[in-house]
Structure 1
Amino acid sequence: MAAPGTADTSIAIEAAGAYAPRFRITADAFREAWGQFQAAGVSETAVPAADEDALTMGYEAATRALGAGDLDGTDVSWLGFATTTPPIEEGDLTARLGTMVGLPDDATRQFFGGSTRAGTRALWAAMDAVAAGGGRALVVAADAPQGEPDDAIDHAAGAGAAAFVVAADGPAAIVDRAEYAAPYPGTRFRERGAETTDGLGVTTYDRQAFRETVGGAVDGLEIASGGDDAAADADGDAASGAETATTYAAAAIQAPDGKLPYRVADAAGVSTDTIQTAATVHDLGDLGAASVPVSLASALADGHESILAVSHGSGAGADALAIDADGDVPTELALAGDDPLSYAEYLRQRGVVTSGPPSGGGAYVSVPTWRRSIPQRYRLEAGRCRECGAVSFPPSGACRDCGARAGYDRFELPGTGTVEAVTTISQGGAPPEFAEEQARSGDYAAAIVALDVGDGVDPGDGGDANGTPASATDGFETVSVPAMGTEAEPGAFTVGDRVETTIRRIYTQEGVTRYGFKVRPATE
């Protein structure tokens, strides 16, 4: 096909973000548990916490991409969300994700799944959407594949997400793209109703599918690789009928393990060093549909100016994209992990070794009631009383300060605050609806947080001599709310600490997962 960069409207990546959970499990932990480790080339993998899934990881990546580009959700008119591990099999997750990041209600939303190629399929569709209608698109790919406990798929399985803002112009132009598909039934698949990914394990067959589709997609590019392994004819011209050739500085290639991408370096026309430059599989594991997007975001963050991105999905098909960047692409990545797990802890976070919720007790909140609070739980929407100017959260009913029913002027809180009070909820102390998740995550912090109404207070201001938080001593406007802690042990939250909000799973009831804000230690 014609290179997008040569068309009337060029398409580019304007900004990128990426996220991986803080938990890690090492190859040694698997060897200790099973006596072997079957994921070649992987040293450790990222593990989602009990309150994380593809939706929450996608939110983390999306907010970072928008923040890097100095944008917000209202700047986006098209959303694509890709994952092979959606938290529900049927249900429009793009409606939730779009609301979480603040997209207009009438923005176009599309979901992509069913294959580890889904991330680049979403990017491909975003290019078409921008070319057809202008505006900005937001592409989000998030995944957390799983296999049976003692197989190579599970040993390699990681978790992570990447997001890209795509526009008609930007610092990273997608100058060419191509796709290739050939029927290879029986390669990596997940049966209907199954939670774990499987495969026939016919190594030669799987490698043939990977090589043919990856090579076929790259051969379809009009811009071919000029790397050391690229084929050339007798006159030195690039092979495959390519019009031009380039030497890629980095190659983001689908990585179901840490070895297979390097086996197809010659088919992709690049060197193994070029693949290693962008590889994230060695430290994060197999990221499924997010594998190539996360590696691409990493390559952009590292300032590489010429990047080849090639995905592969079982079935089998592949996408290849050629990107020319100016070396200064706005990116915000959070891929580091600092919390190692034992194998038993790994199983607990996955929910493999926990019991179900206790019977009786809990405070039932109906889904319609929960829905009415979504503006507060997702976007921290507060209101200022039109009579006295006091802030209410949530903004409903009579003003708590003056008692007037004059209504509220609604606005969003910035998502930072100060811990006013905190306690630890230990095993057996959680309400029944929280018990199953607590069995996976362990003890958690429950806090009262003074959320900033304005731009926040100086994080270095520890308060007065009695330890009272700064926000309560300097006249700075706040609103107090209850919140659960996440991304840290309960002891990491103390009175006076600065925190920031993020969105996580709260609990699941009647088969419907409730999502909402939690707080974590502030990063700045």
Structure 2
Amino acid sequence: MIGITAYGAYIPRYRIGREVFRQAWGMQYSPGERAVAYYDEDSVTMAHAAAVDCLGNANAGGMEALFLASTTLPYKEKQMASLLAAAMDLPATVRTADFTDSLRAGTLAMSSALDAVKSGSAPRVLVVSADCRMGIPTSAREQIFGDGAAAFRFGHEDVAVEIEASHSVNTEITDVWRRNRDPFPSGWEDRWAILYGYLAPLQEAIKGLLEKTGRTPKDFSRVILPAPDYRSHQELVRSLGFDPKAQAQDPLLNTIGATGAAHAPMMLAAALESAKAGERILLANYGNGADAFALRITENIRKIKPFRGIAAHLKSKRPLGSYERFLRWREVVEVEGSRRQQPFSSPTVLYRESGWLLPLKGSKCRRCGLMDFPPQRVCYQCGSKDAFDLIPLAKTGKVFTYTEDYLTGAAFEEFAGTVVLDLDGGGRFRALTSETEAGETHIDMPMELVFRKIHEGAGYNNYFWKARPTR
């Protein structure tokens, strides 16, 4: 039996109500709100958060492969799955791959993971899908798009969700596209794109799956169909013979938005949170063709629960009431940057210190037990030299002291926050803050460390750990 052995998800804390777009442009295309990544988040950092939510206390070192799926990876030429593996402290023997350039990237990565497990080339594979898309201002896509991520571990032991069958089709159609030089997606006439880029391929793939398995729509408790809008979703559900109220999984369009390559995976994660043993789920996805999967829930579903998952992330939110702030975070408008010297990084130093920097490891003295970061050859407490072990730092702690600097002229927020944390596992850690509002930080405030982009010194993205209020 091959299938899903663990799952998790991530939704950014901030949500912008769609009435905010109406206030800015006089147009509102749909109700509800959409999830908005903070200014220091991107597809890679959200993928890391989803992976952490998925694995929990599981042994991340047991992975043989890591696949990252996204249409919004920050580089056109540089693998990002390797960065994700480094931040997760996975060994160099783990196979890494990026799946991109298609809304089907998430389900295509899942298909590749299943093939790897089935063949034995990678008995345990982690698949993470994340997207952070922007629609052009005033467009419907600007309001409908949302940000988020989902992660699934595939294997053949303790399977909670068996993959019974799959069926795929490909379609050459130029319905929605984004060229290398384009900041926003473009599309052809909406109704034509829906008919031939969305409805037709999904109908063909799902009918092919039903024929292959000999099942009917009534055999499935839930059907997961991502969609570019709610009307198209309902039309597809009815055309296939499913009950929109009893079987259709919430497409999350009014609470998160259409999350690109992560849309179908996030809907699956939401469905699994309430799934019961014996139920069957039909999962499908689209984008220059379509993928369809028949899933069966096993008794092991009760043994796996994400740390937060979709439901808890939906409840943990903070309103973003400023459209101008939204544009600033996404760098759609050019604003004055910091008045201080811009940061600079050295790829040579990052490579040399990669063993402890990205996975966030400190030195623990073998003689007195002192935890220190960065790792030190000489223990300042007992004086022992080269007598330490590299230990992962705890990712939670309380504020020992902090500053809020309003003089930096920060490009994305009105202030730059810094905290010193007393970590729960020992040691102190100095970090920039993330997702904090002015005046919010205080002594003894619980905070957690998160993997974020810190700057673009030397012309490339620099990632490290920041501190945010515990969600």
Q: Same fold (TM over 0.5)?
A: yes
TM-score, normalisation: structure 2 = 0.91
Q: How far did residue 274 of structure 1 move?
A: 4.6
Q: What is the CA–CA distance in structure 2 between the aligned matches of 1:404 and 1:361, rounded to whole Å?
A: 38
TM-score, normalisation: structure 1 = 0.82
Structure 1 residue 506 corresponds to structure 2 residue 458: no
Post-superposition CA distance 1:458-503 (Å, at most 9, x none): xxxxxxxxxxxxxxxxxxxx31221112123243321122222111
Post-superposition CA distance 1:269-309 (Å, at most 9, x none): 42222564332122111100000000000000122532111
| Residues 226 and 251 in structure 2, CA contact (< 8 A), matched pair in contact too | no
Structure 2 counterpart of 1:195: 183
Structure 1 residue 118 corresponds to structure 2 residue 66: no
Structure 2 counterpart of 1:466: none
Structure 1 residue 127 corresponds to structure 2 residue 107: no
Question: Equivalent of 1:279, from 235, 238, 251?
Answer: 251
Structure 1 counterpart of 2:140: 152
Structure 1 pair 88/403, CA: closer, same or farther in 2 (3 Å)? same
Q: Which has the greater radius of gyration? A: 1
| Residues 44 and 283 in structure 1, CA contact (< 8 A), matched pair in contact too | yes
Structure 1 residue 424 corresponds to structure 2 residue 411: no
- Summarize the alignment of residues 90-489 of structure 1 with structure 2, pairs less than 5 Å apart: 90-133=77-120, 135-169=123-157, 170-184=159-173, 186-221=174-209, 224=210, 240=211, 243-245=214-216, 246-274=218-246, 276-303=248-275, 305-313=279-287, 316-326=288-298, 328=302, 330-332=304-306, 333=309, 334-336=313-315, 337-358=317-338, 361-386=341-366, 388-426=368-406, 428-429=407-408, 438-453=410-425, 478-489=426-437
Question: Equivalent of 1:16, from 7, 28, 39?
Answer: 7
Equivalences, count: 458
Structure 1 residue 54 corresponds to structure 2 residue 43: yes
Structure 1 pair 81/329, CA: closer, same or farther in 2 (3 Å)? farther
3-state SS in 2 of match to 1:24: strand
Q: What is the CA–CA distance in structure 1 between the aligned matches of 2:249 and 2:303, rounded to whole Å?
A: 17
**2:422 maps to amino acid:** A
Gaps in structure 2 of 5+ consecutive residues = none
Q: What is the CA–CA distance in structure 1 between the aligned matches of 2:87 and 2:193, rounded to whole Å?
A: 42
| Residues 377 and 515 in structure 1, CA contact (< 8 A), matched pair in contact too | no
Question: Equivalent of 2:18, from 21, 24, 27?
Answer: 27
Post-superposition CA distance 1:256-280 (Å, at most 9, x none): 2222221211444422225643321
Question: Share of identical aligned residues, percent?
Answer: 29
Question: Equivalent of 1:63, from 45, 52, 69?
Answer: 52
Question: Equivalent of 2:67, from 69, 74, 80?
Answer: 80
Structure 1 pair 33/522, CA: closer, same or farther in 2 (3 Å)? closer
Q: What is the CA RMSD across the aligned residues, in angstroms?
A: 2.1
**2:132 maps to amino acid:** A
Structure 2 counterpart of 1:460: none
| Residues 492 and 521 in structure 1, CA contact (< 8 A), matched pair in contact too | no
Q: What is the CA–CA distance in structure 1 between the aligned matches of 2:388 and 2:213, rounded to whole Å?
A: 62
Q: What is the CA–CA distance in structure 2 between the aligned matches of 1:310 and 1:88, rounded to whole Å?
A: 28
Q: What is the CA–CA distance in structure 1 between the aligned matches of 2:139 and 2:391, rounded to whole Å?
A: 50
Q: What is the CA–CA distance in structure 1 between the aligned matches of 2:163 and 2:55, rounded to whole Å?
A: 19
Q: What is the CA–CA distance in structure 1 between the aligned matches of 2:365 and 2:303, rounded to whole Å?
A: 42
Q: What is the CA–CA distance in structure 1 between the aligned matches of 2:133 and 2:246, rounded to whole Å?
A: 26
Q: How far did residue 377 of structure 1 move?
A: 4.1
Structure 1 pair 447/358, CA: closer, same or farther in 2 (3 Å)? closer
Indicate the larger mover: 386-395 or 277-286.
Answer: 386-395
**1:142 maps to amino acid:** A
Q: How far did residue 72 of structure 1 move?
A: 2.8
